[in-house]
Amino acid sequence: MGICTGRTVIITGAARGLGRSYALAFAAEGANVVVNDIGTSLTGEGRDTSAADAVVAAIQAAGGRAIANHEDIADWDAAKRIVDATIAAFGGLDVVVNNAGIVRDRMFVSAAPEEWDATMHVHLRGHFCLSRHAVDYWRAQQKAGKAVDARIINTSSGAGLQGSIAQAAYSTAKGGIAALTLVQAAELGRYGITANALAPAARTRMTEGAFADKMAKVDTGFDKQDPDNIAPTVVWLGSAQSAHVTGCVFELEGGRITIETGWNLGPTVERDCRWRPREVGDAVNLLLAERPAPRRVWGS
């Protein structure tokens, strides 16, 4: 009996890469899986539903339960249809894994508003729409006197936590998702809902192009960049065992699990009077000398 037996999970962007690994791993641990994917290119263009259907076929062939869903997560009404279809198929919903995303790499000086808007639309609005409808369902369940033990698992990125050259829009969206997770965790615990986020590093369509050498498959030994390495932590976060964990951002790579410490207060100077402009520089220089060295922006 798996740790997610009887639980139902929606996974967005589940046709390939990390999402596919999550779907197969959840199913192997007994979950009912909704494989949501509209089958776009990396830049969010085109549609192909066959990849999502193939993941469902693989789960069913292994004895699991799954359905495919090809709705657009960033469409408010379509996101509700995803939740409704899940409940109709499996009788409920326990976990939402917001994994789908696109990338429009561009140096900031060349960035176009259309690319910026498209990136925000899929990542931020996509995370919002599906989770919002799921929360409506869980709140209604609680008001009806039913126990709720629900999970929102969001996807941030190292780019969102420390920035990445040529990825201003993507980094901004992913940083916003980390902040959204903190707010969800603070607000939704009263309803039996936890919210956590991932910053995964693994071999996907996105990373193979940007970090070809690092993401290359190895001939022998542990394949650190295999997306299947990320899935166990995600499945555990979706299980009943993780009910005490909320408001965390997990950086995951290979066999490494890290919990981010977030934006904590650093070195401080304070006095009981107003600073004069000419005095601020010396104070800031003192603080810069005392603070730990920050992680470098990716690509710098």
Residues with catalytic roles: 157, 170, 174
Q: Looking at domain 8-259, what is its CATH homologous superfamily? A: NAD(P)-binding Rossmann-like Domain (3.40.50.720)
Q: Cβ–Cβ contacts within 10 Å for residue 80, how many?
A: 18
Computed on alpha carbons and rounded to an integer, the radius of gyration of the chain in Å comes to 21
CA dist 36 to 41, 110, 217, 281, Å? 15, 33, 27, 52
Instruction: Give 90-119 as a DSSP string.
Output: HS---EEE--------B-GGG--HHHHHHH
Average pLDDT over residues 86-97: 98
Tell me: the pLDDT tens digits for 123-143? 999 999 999 999 999 999 999
- Report pLDDT for 300: 86
Beta bridge partners of 34: 10, 67
Residue-range domain boundaries for the chain? 8-259
- Separation between Cα atoms, residue 30 and residue 79, nearest integer Å: 24
Closest CA to 140 of 96, 93, 183: 93
| pLDDT of 220 | 75
Rounded CA separation 287/281 (Å): 10
Predicted confidence (pLDDT) at residue 262 exceeds the cutoff of 80: yes
Check pLDDT > 80 for residue 181: yes
Q: What's the pLDDT tens digit per position in 11-64? A: 999 999 999 999 999 999 999 999 999 986 565 565 788 999 999 999 999 999
Kindly indicate the confidence band of residue 225, based on its pLDDT and cuts at 50, 70 and 90.
confident
Q: b vs e for 142-170, b when ≥16 Cβ sit within 10 Å of the residue's Cβ?
A: beeeeebebbbbbbbbbbbbbbbebbbbb
Mean pLDDT, all residues of the chain: 93
pTM of the model: 0.92
Residues 136, 139, 140, 141: what is their CA dihedral angle, to the nearest 10 degrees? Answer: 120
Cross-strand bridge partners of residue 151: 95, 194
